[in-house]
Structure 1
């Protein structure tokens, strides 16, 4: 049997869109629109996984119910309260409209994440729960007008988990292909099955990567959070080289495990991790500053903070800011470091770059926007595989008729 064609035909630029960003962050799908041509994949975070294997939306109101005013919609038309039938609204309606405008932009639903991975182990190891997972996940894809599913299991803890993870991916891959066959859409690009995967050796050496590979289109490497409040000293949270954890070591090990380079997408943080009462990198610290939304975490667009100086370590390909008055150290990626990482991605023939998460970047027209930086570094040459727009079996009338 012939292996399926690659899921991409050029560099990936993927970004996570979080459903909670529409609240305090005031970041909506319309805010993605200005730079949507620079993205190839939007990963929608997150769907929750229940004990019985049912995949449920994380925030039903934000995801599919909210009615946006005209200034917050892709087509500049207010979501109607008087439309006939059962219709989709919320973020997913706006994402569908965005897909219509940018036919290379694929939207996938991310299931799990740090908070909602608790039930993966029990679900993956039980055939009935696995079947419910697959049925409900594909129903979301079909109803919401999506291009694939992203599994974000943090993390399989032992070989038993790793074994059943392969089972889950295998059965999900078959089910996605069958769904496409049933709709007679096999002439269109294959529906995507991707995974968010760790860069810590203790986590990824647990995975059966070689066995996962045939069923997975893209491996999104979470190449950040290498340092944080859990450490005894400050450190670089996303260094490419050096230290006990770094991006290059992870990439090398994934390649050695048999993952083709074009399937490896390197994660880039759009945030900084901060430490208080310290003298800089690799030094002791005491406590964490308040942060943008949670303690010790700053949006990239808030950095460097006033009074802080930006620094670069070109050997490790790491950057940070330090304020000697406040004695505050923040580890994050600057445009210069991101350009260096893009150079690495190109030279290693990797699949591309992924951002966590889009609301924290500078505005689309800002000279320090990291999304712009990656787009320019890839010479504006991106994956152009077309997205899917036909969902004749969706429960939502407006999705069924293509929002016409």
Structure 2
């Protein structure tokens, strides 16, 4: 039964530190249905582990006990804050995202071995329960061939079985989620056994961005909804193409979330869209946060065929491809028209607040957000405050 659209966001543990830190308390939780906490690491034997224990459970925020006067073994950091969000917003689900670009090579040997797959699945479920989360998200970028694709199917099967076994053993009438960050481009998506994966996957987070970048020889839209006949070299891929491919293989549309980037991709020394360029700049490898765009002196442009935004500076000859509230509005309408499951954002740090927020635009336009309940009871957690349900908070 349809219970509303999903509006999800990736929230990173490394984003909680540094001069431009984004804290878990800043998440716009009233506009979200799912938070995917990224990323957990993977040991050689398959054990899923924290990539930053201090950010996860050690960092003290305001109103946490700074002097360890509270007895017991407690989770602090982002984990505590995410649990508090769940407790105050009972339709908000949190997931442990494992892998990501940096840790993806570690999937290869683990997924290839039955024992390590079981270790991976059991340890991921344990960390999920320790943290008080509602599921697991796998982000393997990307299986390289048919053999690795089959290993991915077996890894998902092991995770689904571990999640169901966990619910059965603890008498929990709750289906913990298993989601996948999946590729939109044919180079990677065509290597996956999507029909084989689908029985184990609750949500497909379609990474509908990075369609172009420093690896291409022309500028282009990095997250366009459609191809543009007027700018074919700038729209070599499209979100609509990717959605149709998944649906054509039998993936139910209501399980697909389309990704929206909260960053832009820069191209320097170019005369415009679909043209040659020379470099992407030293700032972030050409990746710029949406909240800093458009840059001073740049004009924001609109491609009505592709339903995509970009900016161009005539003086510096810099072009930046990025999403805006206008392009996000069209994506939300596309979700509704195609009866997709919703959308997700990579990642929380880049968005603006207020009317210019991409998350807010998506939430308002989708209208009916997922009303399925989260789970709060984790008597098996190693952390006392999670196990006790964060009393008094």
* Normalised-by-shorter TM-score class: over 0.9
Secondary structure of the 1:14 match is strand
2:357 is aligned with 1:369: yes
2:325 corresponds to which residue? 335
Q: Which of 138, 162, 165 is matched with 1:178 structurally?
A: 165
Secondary structure of the 1:134 match is helix
1:87-121 deviations in Å (ceiling 9; x for gaps)? 11110011001100000000001100011101111
Runs of 4+ residues deviating >3 angstroms? 77-80
Q: Distance in 1 between matches of 2:42 and 2:246?
A: 27
The offset of 1:289, in angstroms, is: 2.5
Question: RMSD of aligned C-alpha atoms?
Answer: 1.2
2:293 is aligned with 1:303: yes
1:399 corresponds to which residue? 386
2:2 is aligned with 1:12: no
Equivalent positions of 1:312-331 (< 5 A) are 312-331=302-321
Q: TM-score, normalised by structure 2?
A: 0.95
1:23-50 deviations in Å (ceiling 9; x for gaps)? 1222101111xx2111000000100112
1:145-188 deviations in Å (ceiling 9; x for gaps)? 010000000001111111111111112111101101111112x3
| Contiguous gaps of at least 5 residues in structure 2 | 228-234
Relative to total residues, which structure has the larger helix share, 1 or 2?
A: 2
Secondary structure of the 1:382 match is coil
2:340 is aligned with 1:350: yes
Q: TM-score, normalised by structure 1?
A: 0.93
Q: Distance in 1 between matches of 2:67 and 2:336?
A: 46
For the 8 Å contact 1:274–1:331, the answer to whether it is kept is yes
Q: Distance in 1 between matches of 2:244 and 2:9?
A: 23
2:106 is aligned with 1:119: yes
Q: Distance in 2 between matches of 1:69 and 1:241?
A: 45
1:102 corresponds to which residue? 89
1:57 corresponds to which residue? 50
Q: Which of 41, 44, 54 is matched with 1:48 structurally?
A: 41
Q: Distance in 2 between matches of 1:288 and 1:176?
A: 43
Secondary structure of the 1:42 match is strand
| Contiguous gaps of at least 5 residues in structure 1 | 1-5, 71-76
Q: Distance in 2 between matches of 1:229 and 1:168?
A: 32
Secondary structure of the 2:257 match is strand
For the 8 Å contact 1:320–1:332, the answer to whether it is kept is yes
Q: Distance in 2 between matches of 1:310 and 1:99?
A: 37
Equivalent positions of 1:21-40 (< 5 A) are 21-24=15-18, 25-32=20-27, 35-40=28-33
Q: Which of 175, 198, 202 is matched with 1:217 structurally?
A: 202
